[in-house]
């Protein structure tokens, strides 16, 4: 069963705890009283609690972003379905979480902080959350100022430096495509050896198997593959320009 078939269950909310667990519990018709800050624990229907946290976190933060933007376009709805790989029959459950989060009086900050705590030190996973939000925000072909401000605040809570946020931002918004050096986290005066090392490091950190082991649900692996494609495309462009073998 997909993660969406388990995520709405009351046990998922209790096991996850915190603001995200409360949203799951409320969406399932339960009240979550016990708050937990530790993401690790017994599996929920075969899913690591971190996978539940990742998937729920993206849904909730997407809902809060829609509230900031003021409306949800058809393109954004389609992007939402594409990013989340929601199987037929589960759309209502995911929509329930989305609507619950959007109507909640809680600010997005409490959810972003819980995600940041659960995935502390796992930058590739946190970037995955931010990139999923960018895919949804950019679905209508433009990033509205309110959305950009929101995404930057989420990135700040995740602990991203300005240069890290700009790298993700340009990957989705640069009209001529992202700068290959920026995508590898370096500048044009970097040595060939440094570029090779950066490419190897990013390839290890962002490999789909690595990300799944650290909490990214299988339903989001297409997104991870797209990230790997960007990394490899950046390296190929630099390698050809410099004649690196």
Name the helix (H) or strand (E) containing 168: helix 162-173
The mean pLDDT of the chain is 83
In the chain, the number of structural domains is 1
Confidence of residue 1 (pLDDT cuts 50, 70, 90): low
Query: Tell me: the pLDDT tens digits for 26-74?
Result: 776 643 333 344 444 444 455 577 888 888 899 999 999 988 877 666 6
Range of the domain at 79: 3-242
For every residue of 8-34, DSSP letters joined together read TSHHHHHHH-HHHHHHHHHHTT-----
How much is the pLDDT for 29?
64
- In this prediction, residues 65-90 reach a mean pLDDT of 73
3-state secondary structure of 44: strand
How much is the pLDDT for 47?
56
- In this prediction, residues 8-13 reach a mean pLDDT of 52
Spell out the SS3 assignment of 109-165: HHHHHHHHHHCCCCHHHHHHHHHHHHHHHHHHCCCCHHHHHHHHHHHHHCCCCHHHH
How much is the pLDDT for 32?
37
How far lies 112's CA from each of 2, 120, 157, 208, in Å? 24, 12, 7, 23
Rounded to whole angstroms, the Cα distance separating 160 from 183 reads: 15
> Taking the CB of residue 89, how many other CB atoms lie within 10 A of it?
10
Which of the two residues, 23 and 82, has the higher pLDDT score?
A: 23
Rounded to whole angstroms, the Cα distance separating 89 from 154 reads: 31
How much is the pLDDT for 223?
86
The predicted model scores a pTM of: 0.85
Residue count of the chain, please give it.
Answer: 245
Token pair of 148 as six digits: 């950009």
Query: Tell me: the pLDDT tens digits for 168-200?
Result: 999 999 888 899 999 999 999 999 999 999 999
- Asked whether 101 and 64 are in contact (CB, 8 A), the reply is yes
């Amino acid at each position: 069963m997909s993660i969406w078939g388990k995520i709405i269950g009351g046990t998922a909310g209790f096991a996850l705890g915190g603001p995200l667990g409360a949203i799951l519990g409320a969406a399932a018709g339960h009240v979550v009283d016990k708050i937990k800050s530790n993401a690790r624990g017994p599996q929920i229907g075969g899913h690591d609690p971190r996978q539940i946290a990742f998937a729920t976190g993206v849904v909730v933060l997407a809902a809060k972003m829609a509230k900031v933007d003021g409306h949800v376009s058809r393109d954004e709805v389609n992007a939402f379905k594409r990013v989340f790989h929601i199987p037929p029959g589960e759309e209502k459950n995911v929509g329930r979480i989305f609507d619950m989060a959007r109507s909640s009086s809680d600010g997005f900050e409490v959810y972003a902080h819980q995600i940041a705590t659960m995935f502390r030190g796992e930058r590739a996973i946190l970037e995955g959350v931010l990139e999923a939000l960018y895919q949804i925000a950019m679905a209508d072909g433009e990033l509205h100022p309110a959305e950009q401000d929101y995404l930057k605040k989420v990135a700040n809570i995740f602990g991203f430096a300005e240069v890290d946020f700009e790298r993700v931002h340009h990957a989705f918004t640069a009209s001529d495509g992202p700068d290959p050096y920026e995508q590898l986290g370096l500048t044009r005066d970097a040595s060939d050896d440094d570029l090779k090392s950066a490419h190897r490091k990013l390839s290890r950190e962002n490999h789909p198997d690595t990300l799944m082991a650290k909490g990214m649900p299988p339903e989001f692996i297409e997104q991870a593959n797209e990230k790997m494609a960007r990394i490899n495309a950046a390296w190929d462009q630099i390698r050809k320009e410099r004649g690196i073998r």
